């Protein structure tokens, strides 16, 4: 297991449960991969979080897939709250950053589970027949990316912390 940095402002760190709740409720995040010419490549993307893993769908080729094939180590970030408070010269924020290893899922049967989860989150009123039709229409033109989380931290503005936990 790799060694990851500790968060500097540890008292503002979200608990594991709070960080997972952020991942469950947010609808988009930014995936960062090892891009071309050693530049990081970060792309906003819709996702689902389930059982300690993050899933997203993708076309069969592109910059993010090239980066994952080059190096499966990725980072993923979601912003749950971003409220600018000008009179206080601050921002009330809450975010989660994940580090993990990405795996490309191309097997049609293995793609069904994340597809169903994605449909449930983003198209909750869709019937099973509609989900199946959409899967059959697009499955041969896409794949799923699975991120196995190795390290996760969440952080929030001290103004959002419960009164007993606020740092002085």
Residues 6+ apart with CB under 8 A from 56: 31, 45, 46, 47, 48, 144, 145
* Cross-sheet strand order for the sheet of 142-156: 40-46, 28-34, 73-85, 90-105, 142-156, 53-59, 48-50
Residue 60 Rama label (left phi>0; alpha psi -120 to 50; beta)? alpha
pLDDT digits (tens, 9 = 90+) for 46-102: 999 999 999 999 999 999 999 999 999 999 999 987 777 888 887 777 889 999 999
May I ask the CATH class of domain 10-106+141-157? mainly beta
What is the pLDDT at residue 10?
A: 66
Q: For the segment 109-131, what is each residue's pLDDT rounded down to a tens digit?
A: 999 999 999 999 999 898 889 98
* 5 compared with 76, residue with greater pLDDT: 76
Q: Which two tokens stand for residue 119?
A: 């449909």
Domain boundaries, the chain: 10-106+141-157
13-29 residue pLDDT tens: 788 998 999 999 999 99
Residue 144: what pLDDT? 96
When mean pLDDT is compared across 4-18, 43-57, 129-143, the lowest value belongs to 4-18
pTM of the model: 0.86
pLDDT band, residue 1 (cuts 50/70/90): low
The average confidence (pLDDT) of the chain is 88
Q: Residue 45: its pLDDT value, please?
A: 96
Tokens coding 132? 């199946």
């Amino acid at each position: 297991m790799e060694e990851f940095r500790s968060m500097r402002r540890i008292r503002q760190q979200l608990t594991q449960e709070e960080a997972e709740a952020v991942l469950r409720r947010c609808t988009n995040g930014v995936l960062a991969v090892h891009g071309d010419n050693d530049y990081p490549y970060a792309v906003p993307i819709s996702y689902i979080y389930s059982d300690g893993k993050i899933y997203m769908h993708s076309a069969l080729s592109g910059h993010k897939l090239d980066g994952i094939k080059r190096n499966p180590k990725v980072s993923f970030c979601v912003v749950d709250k971003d409220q600018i408070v000008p009179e206080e010269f601050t921002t009330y924020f809450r975010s989660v950053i994940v580090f993990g290893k990405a795996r490309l899922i191309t097997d049609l049967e293995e793609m069904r589970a994340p597809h169903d989860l994605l449909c449930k989150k983003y198209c909750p009123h869709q019937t099973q027949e509609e989900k199946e039709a959409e899967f059959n229409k697009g499955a041969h033109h896409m794949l799923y990316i699975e991120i196995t989380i190795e390290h996760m931290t969440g952080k929030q503005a001290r103004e959002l912390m419960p009164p007993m936990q606020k740092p002085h």
